[in-house]
């Protein structure tokens, strides 16, 4: 099923992490360009900040600043006409990190590059709760012959604390919260599995027993060769996951039922967010073709904590 795609902007360098702003613009990251960029409703693109590395995920925090998952840098190649990442380490890679960018002052600083004794490898996606903290995934790095384990983490916006919520995951990518902040969802790219972590308190999940590999609760997995990327949650609590290869948004109920798949014109659709006065406009990043698109969505999206 495909419905009413409208292309807002083209020429983006692997866009991800869209954030719908009150003025109708979208702020997103361009991983290959290594920037935070703004797209106006008319499609004009401007760079807000050159951040370096690989800005991968973006969220507005309680202080009006942007919080960035920086994976440290990707390598890129063209496959079947689509821009894609490839295994290997960026020549200027130093670490993964969580950064804070203040658009009022232009200040950019690193909040976290370790959790305890362990360095962050490749932070990917981020979502804030209503308590002033955020969950983020660390995808790890894909080298030529080996790959890192992935993890789910929680940090405070003031830089005071970071904790590990779940480890190890496999290529943890999209992350989102249920409407009541009691469940955090994580989508794994290579397994196309969607996991739920039931929260006892901010940053602390109740562990489900064996055979869960990390304490999460399996929601669903897709058949065939499909891959999950980032996600957003609608106001009914359904999880809307950008699905690679198939080129669609997969809508999953909290029970695990796959409700529908909404196709889009790019097999590298990576992110979805909601905006508009009624929250029924879906913004999707078509990263393989470097475009930002909109489509009408039948359910309103969940309004994020500090949007």
**Mean pLDDT calculated for residue range 115-142:** 98
- pLDDT > 90: percent of the chain: 98
**Mean pLDDT calculated for residue range 286-304:** 98
Told to judge if 148 belongs to the known catalytic residues of this protein, a careful annotator would answer no
Distance of CA 7 to the CA centre of its chain: 20
| Active-site position among 125, 129, 138, 229 | 229
Burial of 164 (0-12, 13-18, 19+ CB in 10 A): middle
Phi, psi of 265 (to 5 degrees): -85, 55
pLDDT surpasses 90 at 221: yes
Residue 305 makes CB contacts below 8 A (sequence gap 6+) with 62, 128, 129, 130
Cis (ω within 30 of 0) for the bond into 174?
no
Annotated binding site: 124, 173, 229
Q: Grade residue 3 by pLDDT with cuts at 50, 70 and 90.
A: low
Report pLDDT for 307. Answer: 86
- Tell me the CATH class for 19-223: mainly beta
Q: Which residue has the tokens 């060769």?
A: 225
pLDDT surpasses 60 at 2: no
Mean pLDDT of the chain: 97
User: In terms of Cα–Cα distance, which of 27, 25, 28, 29 is closest to 41?
Assistant: 25
Residue 242 makes CB contacts below 8 A (sequence gap 6+) with 174, 228, 229, 230, 231, 249, 269, 270, 271, 272, 284, 285
Kindly write down the DSSP assignment for every residue of 32-67, as one continuous string. TTTEEEEE-TT--EEEEEE--S-EEEEEE-TTS-EE
User: In terms of Cα–Cα distance, which of 3, 16, 9, 2 is closest to 287?
Assistant: 16
Report pLDDT for 164. Answer: 98
3-state helix, strand, coil in the chain (%, to 5): 0, 55, 45
CA-based R_g, the chain, Å: 17
Q: Which letter does DSSP use for residue 204 in this model?
A: E
Q: Residues 4-63: pLDDT tens digits?
A: 899 999 999 999 999 999 999 999 999 999 999 999 999 999 999 999 999 999 999 999
Name the residue ranges covered by the structural domains of the chain. 19-223
Q: Residues 56-101: pLDDT tens digits?
A: 999 999 999 999 999 999 999 999 999 999 999 999 999 999 999 9
**Mean pLDDT calculated for residue range 170-197:** 98
Annotated binding site for substrate: 124
pLDDT surpasses 90 at 220: yes
Largest CA distance in the chain: 51
Residues 143 and 167 sit within 8 Å (Cβ to Cβ): no
**Mean pLDDT calculated for residue range 283-307:** 97
**Alpha-carbon span 172 to 158, nearest angstrom:** 24
Residues 22 and 38 sit within 8 Å (Cβ to Cβ): no
Residues 148 and 157 sit within 8 Å (Cβ to Cβ): no
**Mean pLDDT calculated for residue range 231-255:** 98
Please, what sign has the CA dihedral across residues 259, 265, 266, 272?
A: negative
Report pLDDT for 1. Answer: 46
**Alpha-carbon span 199 to 181, nearest angstrom:** 8
Annotated binding site for a divalent metal cation: 173, 229
pLDDT surpasses 60 at 236: yes
**Alpha-carbon span 66 to 140, nearest angstrom:** 22
**Alpha-carbon span 165 to 163, nearest angstrom:** 6
């Amino acid at each position: 099923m495909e419905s009413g795609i409208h292309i807002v902007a083209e020429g983006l360098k692997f866009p991800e992490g869209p954030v719908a702003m009150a003025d109708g613009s979208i702020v997103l990251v361009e991983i290959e360009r290594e920037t935070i960029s703004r797209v106006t409703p008319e499609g004009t693109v401007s760079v807000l900040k050159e951040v370096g590395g690989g800005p991968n995920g973006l969220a507005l925090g309680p202080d009006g600043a942007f919080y960035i998952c920086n994976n440290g840098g990707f390598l890129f190649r063209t496959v079947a006409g689509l821009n894609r990442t490839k295994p290997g380490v960026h020549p200027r890679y130093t670490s993964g990190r969580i950064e804070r960018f203040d658009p009022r002052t232009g200040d950019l600083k690193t909040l976290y590059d370790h959790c305890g004794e362990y360095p962050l490898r490749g932070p990917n996606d981020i979502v804030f709760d209503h308590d002033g903290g955020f969950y983020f995934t660390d995808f790890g790095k894909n080298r030529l012959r080996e790959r890192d384990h992935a993890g789910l983490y929680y940090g405070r916006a003031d830089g005071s604390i970071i904790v590990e919520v779940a480890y190890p995951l496999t290529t943890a990518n999209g992350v989102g919260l249920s409407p009541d902040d009691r469940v955090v969802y994580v989508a794994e790219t290579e397994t196309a599995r969607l996991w739920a972590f039931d929260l006892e308190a901010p940053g602390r999940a109740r562990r489900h027993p064996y055979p869960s590999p990390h304490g999460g609760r399996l929601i669903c997995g897709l058949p065939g060769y499909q891959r999950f990327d980032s996600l957003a949650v609608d106001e009914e609590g359904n999880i809307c996951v950008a699905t690679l290869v198939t080129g669609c948004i997969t809508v999953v109920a909290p029970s695990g039922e796959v409700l529908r798949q909404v196709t889009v014109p790019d097999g590298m659709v990576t992110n979805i967010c909601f905006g508009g006065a009624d929250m029924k406009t879906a913004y999707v990043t078509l990263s393989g073709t470097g475009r930002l698109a909109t489509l009408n969505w039948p359910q309103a999206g969940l309004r994020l904590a500090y949007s």
